[in-house]
Amino acid sequence: MVFDPQGKYFAWVNGVTVKIASVSTWKVITEITKPKISSLEFSPKGTYLMTWEPYLVTPTNPTPGPNLHIWRVETGELVKEFMQKRQIGWAPQWSSDEKICARSLNNDVLFYEDANFESEVHKIHGQRVGNFSLAPGTPPYHILCYIPGKSGQPSFGKLFQYPKFENTSFIASKSFFQADRVDMFWNKVGSAVLLMTSMEVDKSGSSYYGKQALHALTCKGETAIVLLSKEGPIYSVEWSPKCAEFCVVYGFIPAKATLFNLKCEPVFDFGTGPRNAIYYNPHGNILMLAGFGNIQGNVELWDVNHRKLISKMDAPDTTLLAWSPDGEHFITATTSPRLRIGNGFKIWHYSGTLLYERPWNKQEELWEVLWQTFPKGVLKEPHVSYKPVEGILPSQPQASKQVYRPPSARGRESNFKLHDDEELPSNARIGDGELKTLLST
């Protein structure tokens, strides 16, 4: 199920049909009968719904037909259908104004304009594009392409301005070795992009997690490498919704978290902690650092503007987390099939207060929880307060965090540290004269 980015429509699939409802009335306006659809995505303005179903070759169906479809939301009209075998990156990419649409085909990138899919108007051809990302924002449009290197040759990240795609007409270019996968992260206005390169196996043997690096390119032609001050994997990279900063969580546990500006200079160090994920609220004035998966749900909430910790809390067994569009509340959930026991969701205030919980019984499974979306500017940026709001107690008591100590050690002060490389945030180290230049107010 999915809301369109503007909050006008809600679509869901039930294994038989896809239904689209108007949020203003909650009445179904379009119904598409296709029982095998497993993925849905709206275009940026909600004009089109894209659907994907697995491409399955069977003895009775050795040549499956098109499995990627683009539908007009208001009428249910089929606009175009394509063959798309891989689920990863299945959805065509749109510019924010829906003027252009792009998709990859056999290491080329094809571009269509004004939803006319009869033939492409431009394409990136002959450059062996392994992956690409179309920038959000307003014209001029920009596209970042990943071009894998041949044996012994470097790979490239090349930034183009649409539709100038000659091999030498790129705006910015970054070369790198040791990469068999890349991830691309644009800021919200499409003026800068981060390119994370990953080698799944570290041939030096120094890391079980492989080897990663983070590069930056801007539409002004600037490039840089993001220098990280601790060895280890990069767990999470997120741009601030305000677009002028980004945060990275990296390094062997306890992982570091650092805030960087557009010049890739560190402006604040959050220290180390049990964390592997970053979640900005929609307005960018509250930052959440969290540890899920093999970390037991540790959550920190920070006032970004004042670089100050607001609250700490625990949300164990969390498999899904999402900020409310109001920027004050967020939801945590335990969902199937990741965890089939203890399913349910909770709503929290950023001060760390639990406001509501809805547990599922043992016979039920919760698969997904979504907030309704709203157009930009409808909900104002919340004022950050450090005073906890009134809430409720969880129905299930949390396990004690008290560390076992033998009888001979009880009643004595302990100076034991689980990790020798634990670090405090920048502002907690100012008294020692350390990292004064990193504190930005």
Local confidence pLDDT in tens for the 441 residues of the chain: 999 999 999 999 998 999 999 999 999 999 999 999 999 999 999 999 999 999 999 999 899 999 999 999 999 999 999 999 999 999 999 999 999 999 999 999 999 999 999 999 999 999 999 999 999 999 999 999 999 998 889 999 999 999 999 888 999 999 999 888 999 999 999 999 999 999 987 665 555 667 899 999 999 999 999 999 999 999 999 999 999 999 999 999 999 999 999 999 999 999 999 999 999 999 999 999 999 999 989 999 999 999 999 999 999 999 999 999 999 999 999 999 999 999 999 999 999 999 999 999 988 999 999 999 999 889 999 999 999 999 999 887 665 555 556 666 666 665 655 555 688 998 787 554 444 433 443
State the DSSP string of 215-264: EEEETTS-EEE---SS-S-EEEEEE-TTSSEEEEEESSSSEEEEEEETTS
Residue pair 41/91 in contact by the 8 Å Cβ criterion = yes
Of 368, 360, 374, residue with least CA distance to 324? 374
State the DSSP string of 119-151: S-SEEE-SS---EEEE--SSSSPEEEEEE---T
Q: b/e map of 220-230 (b: 16 or more CB within 10 Å)?
A: eeebbebebee
pTM across the whole model: 0.90
Domains annotated on the chain, with CATH: 1-91 (2.40.10), 98-225 (no CATH), 235-395+418-441 (no CATH)
Q: What is the pLDDT of residue 440?
A: 40
Q: What is the pLDDT of residue 439?
A: 40
What backbone phi and psi angles, to 5 degrees, belong to 178?
55, 60
Task: Order across the sheet with 131-134: list the strands.
Answer: 131-134, 142-147, 155-161, 172-176
Provide CB contacts within 8 A for 123, sequence distance 6+.
108, 109, 110, 111, 165
Task: Order across the sheet with 255-261: list the strands.
Answer: 234-239, 245-250, 255-261, 266-273
Q: Quick count: other Cβ atoms within 10 Å of Cβ 372?
A: 10
Q: State the greatest distance between any 2 C-alpha atoms of the chain, in Å, as a whole number.
A: 79
